[in-house]
Amino acid sequence: MSMSKISTLLDRIYESDLPSGADLEQALALENQAELDELFGFADQVREKYCGGGIFLRGIIEFSNFCDKECFYCGINKNNRKLSRYRMKEDELLKSVEYLASAHIKTVVLQSGEDQDLDPLWLKDVISQIKSRFGLAVTISVGERSAADYQLWKQAGVDRYLLKMETLDEDLYNSMHPKMSFKQRLCCLDNLRKLGYQVGTGNIIGLPGQSLKTISRDILFFKQGNFDMLGIGPFIPHQETRFSVFPGAQALLVLKTIALTRIVTKNTHLPATTALGSLDQDYRPAGLRCGANVLMPNFTPQPYRKLYQIYPGKKCIDEPVGSCNFCLESMSKENDRFIDYGQGDSLKLRKVGLNV
In eight-state DSSP terms, residue 278 is G
Report the sign of the C-alpha dihedral through residues 32, 35, 38, 40, in that order: negative
Candidate ranges 78-86, 125-133, 210-218, 234-242; the one touching ligand SAM (CB under 6 A): 234-242
Interaction of residue 236 with ligand SAM, rule CB under 6 A: yes
3-state secondary structure of 145: coil
Of the residues 38, 44, 159, 166, which one makes contact with ligand SAM according to CB under 6 A: 166
- The Cα diameter of the chain in Å comes to 59
Candidate ranges 9-17, 68-76, 90-98, 287-295; the one touching ligand SAM (CB under 6 A): 68-76
Candidate ranges 21-29, 37-45, 98-106, 136-144; the one touching ligand SAM (CB under 6 A): 136-144
Give the span between the Cα atoms of 129 and 107, in whole angstroms. Answer: 14
Residues 78-97 that bind ligand SAM (CB under 6 A): none
Interaction of residue 163 with ligand SAM, rule CB under 6 A: yes
Interaction of residue 204 with ligand SAM, rule CB under 6 A: yes
Report the sign of the C-alpha dihedral through residues 323, 101, 142, 200, in that order: negative
Candidate ranges 78-86, 139-147, 258-266, 314-322; the one touching ligand SAM (CB under 6 A): 139-147
Q: Which is nearer to ligand SAM, 185 or 223 (CB)?
A: 185
Give the span between the Cα atoms of 118 and 185, in whole angstroms. Answer: 18
Nearest in space to 251 (alpha carbons), one of 268, 231, 236, 230: 236
Candidate ranges 23-31, 218-226, 228-236, 257-265; the one touching ligand SAM (CB under 6 A): 228-236
Q: Which is nearer to ligand SAM, 112 or 332 (CB)?
A: 112
Interaction of residue 76 with ligand SAM, rule CB under 6 A: yes
Report the sign of the C-alpha dihedral through residues 176, 181, 187, 191, in that order: negative
Instruction: Give the number of other Cβ atoms within 10 Å of residue 211's Cβ.
Output: 12
Interaction of residue 73 with ligand SAM, rule CB under 6 A: yes
Interaction of residue 275 with ligand SAM, rule CB under 6 A: yes
Q: How far is CA 137 from the centre of its chain?
A: 16
Q: Which is nearer to ligand SAM, 19 or 143 (CB)?
A: 143
> Per this entry, what is the length of the chain?
356
Asked if residue 285 lies in contact with residue 277, where contact means CB atoms within 8 angstroms, the answer is: no
User: Interface with ligand SAM by CB under 6 A: which residues?
Assistant: 73-74, 76, 111, 113-114, 141-143, 163-164, 166, 204, 233, 235-236, 238, 275, 310-311
